[in-house]
Amino acid sequence: MLGLEVLNPGVLSLVQDLGRFGVAHLGLSQGGPADLHAFCWGNRLLNNPSNSASIEIALGQASFKALADLSIAITGADMGASIDGISQANWQSFRLLKHQTLRFSGCRKGQRAYLSIEGGVQTKAIFDSVATVVRNQLGGLAQQGQDFSHGKPLQKGDKIAFQASREHAKQGQQLVPTQFIPDYSETLKIGVIESYQNDAFEAVQKHRFYQSQYVVTAHSDRMGIQLKGPKIESPVTGIISEGIVAGSIQIPANGLPIILACDRQTLGGYAKLGSVIKRDQWRLAQAKPGTKIHFEPADLNLATQQWMTFMRFFGL
Binding to another protein by residue 50, rule CB under 8 A?
Answer: no
Does 253 contact another protein by CB under 8 A? Answer: no
- Binding to another protein by residue 296, rule CB under 8 A? no
Q: Which is nearer to another protein, 94 or 148 (CB)?
A: 148
**Which 110-129 positions form the footprint of another protein (CB under 8 A)?**
126-127
CA 33 → CA 21, 52, 273, distances in Å?
A: 13, 11, 24
Q: Which of 88, 255, 307, 314 binds another protein (CB under 8 A)?
A: 307
Piece of the chain touching another protein by CB under 8 A; list 37-45, 92-100, 189-197, 202-210: 189-197
Q: How many residues bind another protein (CB under 8 A)?
A: 43
* Least spacing, CB of residue 49 vs another protein, in Å: 16
In this complex, which beta carbon is closest to another protein, that of residue 147 or of residue 183?
147
Using CB under 8 A as the binding rule, the residues of this chain from 166 to 185 that contact another protein are none
Phi, psi dihedral angles at 40 (to 5 degrees): -65, -40
Choose, by CB under 8 A, the member of 277, 284, 285, 293 that binds another protein. 277
- Please identify, using beta-carbon distances, which residue of 11 and 300 lies nearer to another protein: 300
Work out how close the CB of 213 gets to another protein at its nearest, in angstroms, rounded to a whole number.
Answer: 24
Please identify, among the stretches 27-35, 37-45, 117-125, 212-220, the one whose residues bind another protein according to the rule CB under 8 A. Answer: 27-35
Contact mark string toward another protein, 196..225, x via CB under 8 A:
x-----------------------------
Other CB atoms within 10 A of residue 94 CB: 16
Identified binder of another protein from the candidate list 69, 174, 245, 255, rule CB under 8 A:
245
138: which strand partners?
Answer: 133
DSSP string, the chain: -EEEEEEE--SEEEEE-S---S-GGGT------SSHHHHHHHHHHTT--TT--EEEEESS--EEEESS-EEEEEEEEE---EETTEE--SSEEEEE-TT-EEE--S-SEEEEEEEEETT--B---BTTB---BGGGTBBSPPPTT-SS-B-PPP-TT-EEE----HHHHHS---B--GGG---TTSPEEEEEEE-TTGGGS-HHHHHHHHHS-EEE-TT--SSEEEEESS----SSS----EE--TTEEEE-TT---EEE-TT--SEE-SEEEEEE-HHHHHHHHTPPTT-EEEEEE--HHHHHHHHHHHHHHHT-
Q: Which of 7, 11, 21, 94 binds another protein (CB under 8 A)?
A: 21
Which CB sits closer to another protein, 211 or 304? Answer: 304
Closest approach of another protein to the CB of residue 244, in Å: 8
Map the footprint of another protein across residues 132-171, applying CB under 8 A.
136-138, 147-148
Three-state secondary structure string covering 70-96: EEEEEEEEECCCEECCEECCCCEEEEE
| Amino acid of residue 44 | R
Residue 314 contacts another protein per CB under 8 A: no
Binding segment for another protein (CB under 8 A), chosen from 171-179, 203-211, 253-261, 267-275, is 267-275
Binding site for another protein (CB under 8 A): 21-22, 24-28, 30, 126-127, 136-138, 147-148, 193, 195-196, 240-248, 265-267, 274-275, 277-278, 300, 303-304, 306-308, 311-312, 316
